[in-house]
Structure 1
């Protein structure tokens, strides 16, 4: 387990503050861009854009996943030109980093002044009513990784960030969820294309087995992904308000699959069996379809987030 000292956080913060223009010294809105969603930074006022590759910032580790370019970007978002900091590409446990390394940028955002954090992700649907391309506003989460001690808050507590035992029953701020729905409807997203539900965090990098998927569905999960929750835990520990948005990029296979014994009995003429289960060998999740679905929905998500920033700014300025 890697534990990061308060001195390291301050070193990273001071590095950024020295290089940032004064108008970005107190950035109140932060956005983490999930798989394939980094194009959001193309919507900001390009004349205001300042970016830092993760590898140039003390304390940051680098992102190694396709669709995650790995840079911290500052710029004005929306018509009201809200100063915003973006994580373009996140860090995952499955890349070999500790939970503390994965969430290091969130605490830097807190030091920079961020009060509201928006976390976005691509995920698979467990809920059969959800379809590929739907957006989901997260209203709660299940964290299997945190329950198995992969928790960024384990270790010495840094009191300057937050308390030893933070509650997370209110992890996803109700008022922000309402703003997200309003932004979606005002930008033309159909009420049938945006949902609300429970996000489950699995550490990855493998996609879930069929039995695991059925288990997650049974315990109340609507979608499952490999990120987000550890960032939310650190944000809430630091008293940041949080909005979570998921883009559904694939259905998760929950079927039991074809029965090999029945198939062989039928082939040998011993029994005549009709097996109507799907062939799970033909239905598999893959990262390419995640990126494709993200690209197809990118413009809608960008419009939603731009409008959300304006609505947020009106309520918080």
Structure 2
């Protein structure tokens, strides 16, 4: 894998002029941050050696640019586990970002609310996670050039970045919630029985991404911040049937405040 990462990162470095230090992975409907980027360079991930293969109807891109003076790299689109990618493929972009010199990464995504204090449209800071998928991207041989065999998870999300995010939210008059995120493989929305179990485990929100990528980032020694938009309440709490169109609509409405919040966080670190 180490050799593959070198090939991927070498190709990218030859294509770009910037030197990003912050990586961002954007979820469904949360693309307004891209409007704030300057000097944008775009690479289709299908062109990068060793990246996961992309289906013809799917576009995944790496975007390079800056927010004022800060160079960033944004992954637009993902390689979801529920589409049949292995977890090493799901997390491969995180490993490549590290090879590019990125040491901080933000995971921005949509999620379902379980905690009754959450509401649709709430912005949610992830403070910890529960891996409900029963799998890990770290299973298999380990290469110490990439990261340690056993990975500490006492601080999966940077307390420093969480505190900065909360301070900036207060300044912008944004009122986020925070708590524990549960990862499920999907692609079905969880059953009411599952949600009752998750709630008893102390999980506040649930989604189909973020946790594998968080594990990979911690393997690499990166500092992680994850902010979710609650686009629906979970099954058994929400009384209507789930709709992906509704998820996208809610995420797009929240995206304006969220993108300004993320922009300010980027500038602060």
TM-score by length of 1: 0.82
1:15 corresponds in structure 2 to 11
The 5 Å alignment of 1:86-235 reads: 86-145=74-133, 148=134, 150-189=135-174, 191=175, 194-235=176-217
CA contact (8 A) 1:138 1:172 kept: yes
CA distance in 2, matches of 1:179, 1:64: 38
- What's the offset of the Cα at 1:13? 0.7
Q: Confirm whether residue 71 of structure 1 aligns to residue 61 of structure 2.
A: yes
1:302 corresponds in structure 2 to 259
More strand by share: 2
CA distance in 1, matches of 2:89, 2:247: 25
CA contact (8 A) 2:46 2:54 kept: no
1:37 corresponds in structure 2 to 30
| Per-residue Cα deviation, 1:252-271 (whole angstroms, up to 9, x for no partner) | 1236xxxxxxxxxxxxxxxx
Q: How many residues align structurally? A: 269
Unaligned runs of 5+ in 2: none
CA-based RMSD: 1.7
CA contact (8 A) 1:135 1:195 kept: yes
- What's the offset of the Cα at 1:300? 0.4
| Per-residue Cα deviation, 1:6-55 (whole angstroms, up to 9, x for no partner) | 1111110111011111xx2x32111111111123112111xx11011111
CA contact (8 A) 2:2 2:146 kept: no
CA distance in 2, matches of 1:69, 1:34: 13
- Greater relative CO (CA pairs within 8 A, separation 6+): 2
CA distance in 2, matches of 1:58, 1:18: 13
2:226 corresponds in structure 1 to 244
Give the number of the structure whose alpha-carbon radius of gyration is greater.
1
